[in-house]
Structure 1
Amino acid sequence: MEASAMQRRRRLFQSAFFVLFLVAPALDVLRFDLHETQLWLLGRRWSLGIDDFLAGRIDATAAALSILGRAFLPALVLVALFLAVAWRQGRLYCGWLCPHFSLVELINDLLHRACARLSLWDRHPTPRADRPAQRRWWPVFALACVISGFLWAITLLSYLLPPAELWRGLLDGTLTPGQARFIGIGTLVFSAEFAFARHLFCRFGCAVGLFQSLVWMANPKGMVVAFDRDRARDCRDCRTPASPSGSACDRSCPMRLHPRDIKRMMFSCVQCGRCLDACATSQAGQPQGPLLEWRIGVDAVRETLRQRRAEAAASPPAPAAPPSPTDKES
């Protein structure tokens, strides 16, 4: 199935940020050199002014102001901007930029090609009419997990040690015991995570994603996926090449969510938009268009209230309390 314009744009953002994540230490865009105890930012040494204070070139007040202006204020501004985006649009970073989530989607696709499942723990397959399961993809899936684990281990270490030193030691076989242990253990742990627990980590183990979700859940005007429940019967014929048996939006979600659920059940939604594309494909012949769409602001509040009313109407009434002894006596 051909990707939509939104998904092609999302892939472009993901690819660009993935490359930046890998090359940032080598280009001194961002890294902390443990040998020199020196932070590098945008190709320049980032100093807090402590060395000048120790050398007597500035007094304590100037040193404090330097630390405040060079460390605390920039950090607060970056955190505030990041949370402001999350407040309005949820886990947008996860779905559109995060390098880890890019690999999660890639490994999902490889596993599905091998066994028609998106996770090794799935009880039932999610077959696609245009993609029969083929065992020849199993080695590719396993190799992708190991390569991804190794790439993560060496890249994370390169944020702390000079990348040239690491790669030279790796190619020449001259890594220090500590470096070799870090890369070996890191590769093993990350490979296992990519193979067995990538969805669980994204949903419950990633602090960056968790904070985005908490901020988004606190904002009733945050962007949500709205479902036109008045046309719910159209979901009976919801079929695409990727979901020949129906539930196209459910099967398309890389986070294993059900996009038609209420907001609190979509806690880990990454706003990737794949459910919207699946719905648009399945409803292409309908004059009213797709049943799913993004809502934000006041429209999001209306959608949340409507979902709550629908949930309350669908829930069974609470059983009546038994009469108290006082009521019996009277």
Structure 2
Amino acid sequence: MSERIIPIIPAGSGAPDGGRQRTRLWAQISFFVLFVLAPVFDLLRYDLVAGHAWFLGMEWRVGLADYSAGLIGLGQLWTNIGLKIFLPILGTGAVLIWVSWKWGRLYCGWLCPHFSVVETINQFMRRATGKPSVWEKRALPTREPDGTTWRADPRWWFITAPLAVGFAFVWAVVLLTYLLPPFEVYSNLLAGTPTRNQFIFITAGTVVLSAEFLFARHLFCRFACAVGLFQSLAWMGNRDAMVVGFERKRGADCNDCYSACDHVCPMRLKPRNIKRQMFTCTQCAQCISACATTQKDNPNGPLLSWVSGEAARQNEAGLRASTKVRS
């Protein structure tokens, strides 16, 4: 029995995709805000000054000071390390891997604060150059899935470049607040008197991240992000995992489209391809939303959808068979 999965769709939405992308946008914004504010409220950070971590507003100590003072033994110290360091890390990793094994890189596509920056800069760079990345060989079609048109204008660089640098600066400052008391960092910045080490960290971070956001953001997500890599490996190991399914028997319906699903993918993948060619898919579902929009007047509905279980197996089998025929 096949299983089709269409999660996270608000009921009653008038958008062709059921409001999926609007929901995803709010999820990304919410998580980015959490990423910025978590250190401020001591939800999660390590304080280099105090020498201990904070978790959900509580001091998170393993007892190194108590061990040095002779208040606890070596056995208790190792127990604390296991319970307060390794167990939370392994537990969080296990949950992330399980979610990825079942649904793919949902964290990347729906929550990751880096990927939200990637998508934002993509849109502005497309306006400036006609391409979502400086490494793209060809300009994208000047047509949106809903039929509206646009044109590239180099003047958009006056927004794109400062935006990338601005995001880099925010990231550098936020990352520093995960290591130093946030109020000290922010008060020093507002007063224009950061310490020497704070200035070096923020400056170096801004320079490196600016280069990454402008020139290598896709490359980082595809080849350098360890979190993304392990999610992809877990997903590839499950043949029943949720995947973007393509109704290949209705492929003729694509003739009236301009391959909108290919052009909207922020990872520059081909959504109608086989799963192993979609290794870095973030399950952002922009291809599915684009297909739903371009096929909104088709009585048979869109050709792309999330599928899992037996439907995912059949989808991959059909695509492999078609690939062999073409070759």
TM-score normalised to the size of structure 1? 0.89
Kindly indicate whether residue 170 of structure 2 is the aligned counterpart of residue 151 of structure 1: yes
| Equivalence for 2:3 | none
| Equivalence for 1:237 | 256
Kindly indicate whether residue 297 of structure 2 is the aligned counterpart of residue 285 of structure 1: yes
Larger gyration radius, structure 1 or structure 2:
1
Kindly indicate whether residue 52 of structure 2 is the aligned counterpart of residue 38 of structure 1: yes
Q: Which amino acid aligns with 2:321?
A: R
Which of the residues 39, 45, 65 maps onto 1:51?
65
Q: Match of 1:40, SS?
A: strand
Deviation at 1:3, TM superposition (A): 8.0
Q: Could you tell me how far apart the structure 2 residues matched to 1:120 and 1:3 are? A: 31
Deviation at 1:233, TM superposition (A): 1.3
Q: Could you tell me how far apart the structure 2 residues matched to 1:69 and 1:181 are? A: 35
The aligned runs of 1:121-160 (5 Å cut-off) are 121-126=135-140, 127-128=142-143, 129-160=148-179
Q: Which amino acid aligns with 1:277?
A: S
Structure 1 residues 96 and 120, CA gap change in structure 2 (3 angstroms): same
Q: Which amino acid aligns with 1:281?
A: T
Identity of aligned residues (%): 50
| Equivalence for 1:203 | 222
Q: Match of 1:258, SS?
A: coil
Which of the residues 246, 257, 261 maps onto 1:227?
246
Q: Could you tell me how far apart the structure 1 residues matched to 2:227 and 2:221 are? A: 9
Q: Which amino acid aligns with 1:168?
A: S
Q: Could you tell me how far apart the structure 2 residues matched to 1:298 and 1:228 are? A: 14
Q: Could you tell me how far apart the structure 2 residues matched to 1:190 and 1:234 are? A: 42
Which of the residues 260, 263, 267 maps onto 1:248?
260
The aligned runs of 1:79-228 (5 Å cut-off) are 79-126=93-140, 127-128=142-143, 129-228=148-247
Q: Match of 1:105, SS?
A: helix
Kept in 1: contact 2:16–2:293 (CA 8 A): no
Deviation at 1:7, TM superposition (A): 0.6
| Equivalence for 2:271 | 259
Q: Deviations over 1:235-270 (max 9, x none)?
A: 1101xxxxxxx0110011111111001000001100
Kindly indicate whether residue 316 of structure 2 is the aligned counterpart of residue 297 of structure 1: no
Q: Could you tell me how far apart the structure 2 residues matched to 1:61 and 1:271 are? A: 44
The count of residues paired between Structure 1 and Structure 2 equals: 308
Kindly indicate whether residue 323 of structure 2 is the aligned counterpart of residue 311 of structure 1: yes
Q: Which of the pair has the greater relative contact order for Cα pairs under 8 Å at 6+ separation? A: 2
Q: Deviations over 1:41-87 (max 9, x none)?
A: 11111011333333333333333323222222222211111100011
Q: Could you tell me how far apart the structure 1 residues matched to 2:137 and 2:68 are? A: 63
Q: Where do 5+ consecutive residues of structure 1 fail to align?
A: 239-245, 316-330
| Equivalence for 1:78 | 92
